[in-house]
Amino acid sequence: MSLNGLKHVVTIMMIVCFSWGCGSPVTPSLLPDYDEKGIRLIALMPIQNKTQDPLAAQVLREVLAEELYFKGYPRIPIRLVDDKLREIYRGRIEFEDKIIPPQAVGESLGVDAVMYCTLEEWKTSYVMIYAPTTVAASFVLWSTKTGEMIWNTSHRVVKRDYDLSGKGLEMKSRQSCETAAQEVVEKAMVTLPDGPEYPGRPPKKENSFFGLW
């Protein structure tokens, strides 16, 4: 392909990029009395993965767990959550594909709320020297005491990479997947109120979680 032809292709791709935009608009839902619910301990459930990448859900869950902690909610190890879920399902791994009722999780873990996340998209499309990477996920928070949904949102992020080398384009796309996942989670966390241990908020005395907090 000539240099002029290559420039023409890149120009067309850039036009398509801007027409797609960076993500879909969302309207998050939050109970107006969220601060009165006393949400401190949040258990993060296994990601419901609708993609073809089995590792994508693991990456997203780890990112989400970190962001919840930085948001001011005490860290509850993912492994501890999964161990308790295995007890509920008697050692079976089927819990990874199920929506466990919030009340059951609350009784087993002693948490205030349960967060479910569905990974809707995690893909990269390769078109010559251009590769758009899309990550989309939805998030829902349920009270373990009342069983009501207290917060939910969803976000979609598209990252775009260009490279004349197929190998270089693939490497950039892999990095873009993690970057897009981070951005999706950050966008979601913006709509979730800060936790009780967020810097700047006065600490409150609460019941401990297995004696760790």
| Tens digits of residue pLDDT in 155-208 | 999 988 787 777 877 778 778 888 899 999 999 999 999 999 988 655 554 444
For the chain, domains (ranges, CATH) are 22-190 (3.40.50.10610)
Mean pLDDT of 96-104: 73
Count of other CB atoms within 10 angstroms of residue 74:
18
Mean pLDDT of 1-12: 40
Residues with Cβ < 8 Å from 150, sequence gap 6 or more? 30, 31, 34, 37, 39, 113, 141, 142, 143
pLDDT at 202: 52
Express each pLDDT in 12-71 by its tens digit: 333 334 333 444 445 679 999 999 899 999 999 999 999 988 889 999 999 999 999 999
Residue 43: HSE in the Cβ half-sphere, 13 Å Cα cutoff: 28
pLDDT at 185: 96
Q: Facing residues of 137 across strands?
A: 119, 155
pLDDT at 4: 45
pTM check: above 0.85: no
- 127/55: higher pLDDT: 55
pLDDT at 94: 55
pLDDT band at 87 (very low <50, low <70, confident <90, very high): confident
pLDDT at 52: 85
